[in-house]
Amino acid sequence: MKTPQSLRLKRPRRVQILSAGVFLLAGVVYFGTLHAMDGRAEAYFRQLRQSDPALYLTQVREAQGFDTFLTEYRILNNYEDFHQAPPNFLVGRWTLRPEPIRLSPGTAPSECSDPVTLDYGLFLQLETGGVALPVSYRIEGKTVEMRIAPDSVVPIELVSYGAQLDHIAFTAPGRDAVSYGYLCGR
């Protein structure tokens, strides 16, 4: 029995073989170049981590996002333990809101109502009752823990989009519900 003409395998032409070879070679060169560039970037970040930790953290934040930055920040600044100094991305005045609001990245709310200040060793809420508490901070996963007393720790949830910290969410001392904080001043 003879195979029909349409089902027979045809021998590839010389042009087809050359084209396939060129595409295969281009793929090998492309992926080889990507592998080499990835190795160079890894070596660069490893060297930068030792020589300039601040620049390293900035570039990790921009290249890999806030979550990776937070992990590296915790390790480089020893935030496994409590410190009086808050992480530098938390220092400042935060307006507290009962509900989350959407802002463009890097934009502050138009008014700084019901503010709290996170500063060196202090949690300040002066406009609404005059609260000034001694505190210390540490980073645990994707949360900053604010210790008010030896047995009282307030978790501050960090909400980020890409490389930017958008807002924080926590139950402020003296409150019953979660408040959403937006940076309104340093």
Residue-range domain boundaries for the chain: 14-74, 81-185
| Per-residue model confidence (pLDDT) at position 8 | 67
State which amino acid sits at residue 91.
V
State the pTM of this model.
Answer: 0.76
Mean pLDDT, the chain, rounded, equals 87
Q: Over 60: is that where the pLDDT of 1 sits?
A: no
| Per-residue model confidence (pLDDT) at position 2 | 64
| Per-residue model confidence (pLDDT) at position 85 | 92
Are the beta carbons of 72 and 57 closer than 8 angstroms?
Answer: yes
Count the neighbouring beta carbons within 10 Å of the beta carbon of residue 182: 19
* Euclidean distance between CA atoms 105 and 84, whole angstroms: 28
End-to-end Cα separation, the chain, in angstroms: 87
- Comparing 13 with 158, the larger pLDDT belongs to 158
Tokens of 110: 């138009």
